[in-house]
Structure 1
Amino acid sequence: MAHLFQVDRVKLLCSCGMLKPITAIYFCRHCQKLRCGNCVSHEVDTLFCPNCLENMPSTEARLKKNRCANCFDCPSCGHTLSTRATSIQAPVLEDPSKTVARKVYYLACTSCRWTSRDVGLKDQTVATGGWTEQDSPHYKNLQALLEHYRTLAQKEKMDKDKKRYSNRKSSFLSLSDKYSLSSVMSRKSLSPISPFSPKVSLDESQTSEVTPSEATEEIEGLPENIFIEEINLSSVSTIGQRMASPEWQPDHTSELYPLHKHILVKRSLRCRHCEHNLSKPEYNPSSVKFKIQLGAFYHVPEVRMVKEVELKWGVETQVQVSFCNPTPHDMTVALLPFVPEAYTLQHDGDNGESGPTSVSSGSIVRVVEIVPENPDLKLHSDVALPQGQFVLSARDDTAEYDDHDSASAYKDDPLVVAWRRANKVGVNLMVTPHQGAKGAKVGFVLRYDYTNTVATATESRTVTLNIPVIINVGAVSE
């Protein structure tokens, strides 16, 4: 029965037109729309090392090339390197004829047994000592190119600023003549990028000179013993090991140096329409909690298949589906027919359908229009939905320990509700696959009453939302 709980069996139609499972979609309490990972803004919240859990500002991470200075990865297998201690006999400074035991440290991999001694790195006297860095042969050329293009970018910026302020020349002169501004005040009011400020230009002497590369038809030939000498595959580096060090790309395993560990990112998600946060983690890297987590799993009724059924062409089969209320408020739910043509060209309105939001020109909210996508919404099966409504009781964590029958508190129609347990309700759907269909896929619109509990609201208010749901019932046989 494990295949019944796969999240890909039941998908929701996002506001951007994508079909996503409920675990991969968000619910904006301000827009009251579904948002998936493709229609939200991804923002970098914190940068940290996954090994030492040290926070790092974005400017520092940029200077360090998004790598940690103290943690290393194994260049052979990619596993995190650990610092090992050992004792060696070292001569005494006062009397070289005598030796004393000293503790030294080296890097070792617990997975593939690679050590820093394999490449000739000297042992360090401190555990966090500065290991010898490998110098890049193209370091000077890269720095010269960066400096050259940085100078060109500054020059282009100054040229744009001069053009921007060129139209204000006449108005500024007339203003100074009218009110007789003193020379001191005029100098103070001048902008450094204004055409009246002291001339600052980048002449040819200030720009860094870069020697252009020249193409050549001759290439370096292969060594003479490449076809004679026997190859030892254990001493040749793999493609993954070479690409892990793009600056050097070592050909042999004896040239593999420790790699600084990459920095990870904690990101926050923001709604593109109302710019409210949908997901925001804690600042502490060791914390797995979220300050804000508006997942649809906590605001939209969860739909699941109860058991697997055998489907045949043209035969009406009963399929049982369960609905679960994740909120602490009662929900009134109704199932409406799903018309694929109505969602091919989506329009965002008050009826809860999906699509890009359009606002008036006087709105202060910056709206980014999202082009809706048209997924495959063709349904090769007919479904008979139960008529009427049913109530999903509020979520109660202690309900599973209560022996009281909650079904007696609700007057459920037996033609609609098959069973009820706490905040879950089972509903029977009658599915009829079309002739020649390989799989039965049905859809309906889940209409429910959602109690909005936004912190800015003075009191809870209930709205009616429509969520399109697509269920992959299973394979169909003849």
Structure 2
Amino acid sequence: MAQAFPYTFYSCPCVDTSTPSARVRDKRSSQYSTHTKEEQDRTFDPRKSRSNFSLYPLEHLLYCEDCHQIRCPRCVSEEVITWFCPSCLFEVPSSNIRSDGNRCMRSCYNCPVCTAPMVVNSLDSENERHVRLGEDGEAVQPPGPFYLACPYCQWSTLEIGVEFEKPNNISGQLARLANGGKTVPTLREREKARDKRKEAEELGKKPDEEEDEGTPDEDLPMDHDIRFSNLSAFYKSQLQTDTMGGDYGYGSSSTLSRIMSMYSGSGAKKSKKDRPSAMREAFGSDEGFQVHNRSSEDEIIKRMRQLGWEGTISPEQRQSQIHSDVRFAADLRPVPTLLRTKRAKRCRTCRHILARPETKISSSRYKIKLLALNNIPQISVKALPRQVETSVPGITAPVPFDYNKLQPFMANHFILTIRNPLFDPIHVTLATPAITPGRIQSKVTVLCPEFEVGANTDVWDEALTGPGATQKKSQAPSSTELGASNPATQAEAGKVWERGRNWTSVVLEVVADKAEPADLEGGLDEDEDVLEIPMFVRIEYETDLTDDIKEKDREKGKESGGADGRVKREEAFWCVLGAGRIGALPKLG
């Protein structure tokens, strides 16, 4: 989607990733002194590919009070505060995340077809129409069986033959039910059956018929849970076996003492022992090993031909499943809801907290949120309205400005407004290249590059005292205060255009260059005819000296502030002004 004109993007200092961090620069200041000076003298080019990753609207940026720098999403590090389920709003401990994964283990499931949240319903038709009441007049839980249903696409677990006995603990019941209603043995039952088969193989006996039915077929693909359980049990038994490598066994009790003796004098006198034998790999279905069988792939292809397009699932549905090898609609299972996180953000340089939400799940507030909007001046640009005379003498009307058709080789005037969010007045210095970088070279001139902006005080102060009382004596009157009626003729160099309580407007003059594809080698690139003006903004102000600033300056060995208890601050940053799109040259005749 094309960006609406005009716009303002702020450049983050992390545009040059080759620049070392602050701590490294302090250690190697002599090596990077020349490099840093060259970076300061370099003009920011918004046309470079790297610049696209550092330009953000002011609303998307944070501010570090320790570094006094803008921080973008690349400059911050995130840390998880809490995990929670978005459906039931249940907070999940981090210990459960390591064991159970990042999905809700309660009764929260999403539809595998449309991803909508599913609800638990009863098969009793009477209870679906009327609520059953008890003797005390309270609602009674309807009798089972129950099933999960999607209220959006009407898909339910009845289509895969899965029903539940209770309306709660759906995860535990679903783990023991396969598609078609077949019961899946638990982990303990699988371990007992596996141990019995191993004992029967060691004794040379034939397993019982009931145990033989639970043995997975070598030709059929094993279930993921059964395969993982067998592999886990096999590797645990390998690690616990001490006879595999003698004293060097992976589970040997003397491993710790042997490692400690390596760092003592007594360990060097011992004779060198042989290396332990390598751990063997799994073999057989009981150990979780499965050989690829071509016949299983032939069966899948045959089934796809029989069911057709409607019997298969889309790539999105396949990726949403826990096991991504599902191919048919009959193999779909309800998807557990993914957990969400609340995260805090820290500055990568000084580890200062930039944003920290409340731990309460139902709350969307932030305990700490240092927005750049509250610390960096807001810069906006708009076209200077042109006045034309109407049929009535002495009355003029504004002409609408077309930002998508800037006339080349003609002076276009824009109003540049700087709003101060701080509670202290600031001194602003603007700098922009005389010619914009790139193949299309337009001329830019700031008529008033230095000016003052008032503090962000209470609105009632301006209403009670009046605009004349809040204006400093050193500030020159603006063009509008001098009675500017025609902006094209009254915009003067060295004078601000308009001034308010905490904002000041100046005039920006732009002479656009032509953007003809025939005159450029290789034609016109995408959005190359967009007039983007890089501007360097530098602000200076004095603020009260707080205890935190004193403590930080004391740690750095600096003297904090002056005798009046105030300290000078200076901040600088690059921004890009999107003035519009250059139009075609008017045809003569």
Report if TM-score (shorter chain) is over 0.5: yes
Is the contact made by 2:121 and 2:149 (CA closer than 8 Å) also made in structure 1?
yes
- 1:67 Cα shift? 0.3
Alignment check: 8 A CA contact 1:27 1:278 kept: yes
- 8 Å CA contact 1:380–1:440 kept in 2: the answer is no
1:431 equivalent to 2:492? Answer: no
Query: Which residue of 1 is the match for residue 159 of structure 2?
Result: 118
Task: Assess if the C-alpha contact under 8 Å between 1:338 and 1:468 holds in 2.
Answer: no
Counterpart residue number, 2:353? 277
Work out which of the residue numbers 286, 298, 307 in structure 1 matches 2:362.
286
Instruction: Give secondary structure in 1 for the equivalent of 2:105.
Output: strand
Q: Is the 8 A contact 2:435 2:444 kept in 1?
A: no
Is the Cα contact below 8 Å between 1:25 and 1:36 reproduced in 2?
yes
Q: CA deviation at 1:82?
A: 2.4
Distance 1:434 1:413, change over 3 A: farther
Q: For residue 464 of structure 1, give the secondary structure of its aligned residue in structure 2.
A: strand
Shift in Å at residue 230 of structure 1? 7.0
Q: CA deviation at 1:389?
A: 3.1
Residue 66 of structure 1, CA deviation: 0.4
Q: Structure 1 residue aligned with 2:380, among 295, 304, 319? A: 304
2:195 corresponds to 1:137:
no
Q: 2:580 aligns with which of 464, 471, 474?
A: 474
Q: Indicate the residue corresponding to 1:355 in structure 2.
A: none
Work out the CA distance in 1 between the residues paired with 2:90 and 2:110.
16
**Is the 1:400–1:422 Cα contact (8 Å) retained in structure 2?**
no
Letter in 2 for 1:301: P
How far apart, CA to CA, are the structure 2 residues paired with 1:138 and 1:43?
A: 32
Match of residue 443 from structure 1: 534
Q: 1:272 to 1:81 in 2, by over 3 A?
A: same
Within-5 A mapping of 1:1-80? 9-17=7-15, 18-70=54-106, 71-80=108-117
Q: Does structure 1 residue 315 correspond to structure 2 residue 387? A: no
Matched AA of 1:137: D
Counterpart contact for 1:87–1:101, Cα < 8 Å: no
Going by fraction, where is strand more abundant, 1 or 2? 1
User: Residue type of the partner of 1:35?
Assistant: R
1:457 matched to 2:536: no
Give the secondary structure class of the aligned counterpart of 1:287. coil
Tell me whether 1:263 sits opposite 2:354 in the alignment.
Answer: no
Ranges in structure 2 where 5+ consecutive residues have no aligned partner: 16-53, 128-139, 179-183, 185-221, 240-248, 270-274, 284-288, 384-400, 479-491, 516-527, 551-564
In structure 2, the residue matched to 1:81 is: 118
- Rounded to whole Å, the distance in 1 between the matches of 2:56 and 2:434 is 18
User: CA offsets, 1:54-90, max 9 Å, x none?
Assistant: 2222221121210001211111100111233564689
Size of the aligned set, in residue pairs, is: 402
Q: What is the aligned partner in structure 2 of residue 253 from structure 1?
A: 329
CA 1:390–1:226 in structure 2 vs 1: closer, same or farther (change >3 Å)? same
Larger relative contact order (Cα-Cα within 8 Å, sequence gap ≥ 6) = 1
The verdict on how the C-alpha distance between 1:302 and 1:79 changes in structure 2, with shifts beyond 3 A counting, is same
The letter for the 1-side match of 2:530 is G
CA pair 299-228 structure 1, distance change in 2 beyond 3 A: closer
CA contact (8 A) 2:83 2:341 kept: yes
Distance verdict in 2 for CA 1:101–1:461, change over 3 Å: closer
CA contact (8 A) 1:407 1:420 kept: no
Matches within 5 A, 1:146-185: 168-170=263-265
CA offsets 1:238-269 (integer angstroms, 9 cap, x no match): 22112211426433323322111001111211
Which has the larger helix fraction?
A: 2
1:380–1:439 Cα contact (<8 Å) kept: no
Contact 2:411 2:512 in 1 (8 A): yes
State the Cα distance separating 1:110 from its structure 2 match.
Answer: 2.0
TM-score normalised by length of structure 1 = 0.70
What percent identity do the matched residue pairs reach? Answer: 22
Q: CA RMSD in A?
A: 4.3
For the Cα contact (< 8 Å) 1:328–1:395, is it kept in 2? Answer: yes
Distance in 2, Cα, partners of 1:400 & 1:222: 82
Aligned to 1:221: 298
Closer/same/farther in 2, CA of residues 54 and 401 from structure 1, 3 Å limit: farther
Deviations 1:316-337 (A, max 9, x none): 2101122222233322222123
Cα distance 1:280–1:113, how it changes in 2: closer, same or farther (>3 A)?
A: same
Structure-2 residue corresponding to 1:332: 427
1:471 and 1:426 mapped to 2: Cα distance? 15
Aligned pair in 2 of structure 1 residues 161, 127: CA closer, same or farther (>3 Å)?
A: closer
Say if 2:5 and 2:580, in contact at 8 Å, map to a contact too: no
One-letter identity of the residue aligned with 1:289: R
1:11 maps to amino acid: F
Structure 1 alignment gaps of length 5 or more: 91-99, 174-193, 197-201, 342-375
Distance 1:381 1:427, change over 3 A: same
Counterpart Cα distance in 1 of 2:304 and 2:292: 29
Shift of 1:463: 0.4
Letter of the 1:444 partner, please give it: M
Query: Take 1:58 and 1:418, find their aligned partners in 2: how far apart are those partners?
Result: 57
**Structure 1 residue 102: deviation in Å?**
4.2
The structure with the largest alpha-carbon Rg is 2
**Alpha carbons 2:80, 2:344 under 8 Å: kept:** yes
1:103 aligned to which of 131, 143, 162? 143
> CA offsets per residue over residues 189-238 of structure 1, 9 Å max, x none?
xxxxx999xxxxx9769x685236656777742579669757362x4322
Map of 1:185 onto structure 2: none
Name the CA distance, whole Å, in 2 between partners of 1:47 and 1:465.
38
In 2, are the aligned partners of 1:379 and 1:442 still within 8 Å (CA)?
A: no
Q: Residue 405 of structure 1: CA displacement? A: 5.0
- What amino acid is the match of 1:169? S
Contact 1:74-1:109 within 8 A present in 2 as well: yes
Tell me the amino acid that sits aligned with residue 125 of structure 1.
K
In 1, the alpha carbon distance for the partners of 2:233 and 2:462 equals 69
Q: Do the aligned residues in 2 keep the contact of 1:340 with 1:378 (CA within 8 Å)?
A: no
C-alpha separation in 2, matches of 1:401 and 1:118? 70
1:425 corresponds to which letter in structure 2? Answer: T
Q: 1:381 and 2:460 equivalent?
A: no
SS in 2 for 1:456: helix
Aligned letter for 1:221? Answer: D
Partner Cα separation in structure 2 for residue 124 and residue 420 of structure 1: 73
Q: TM-score, normalised by structure 2?
A: 0.58
1:476 shift after superposition: 0.4
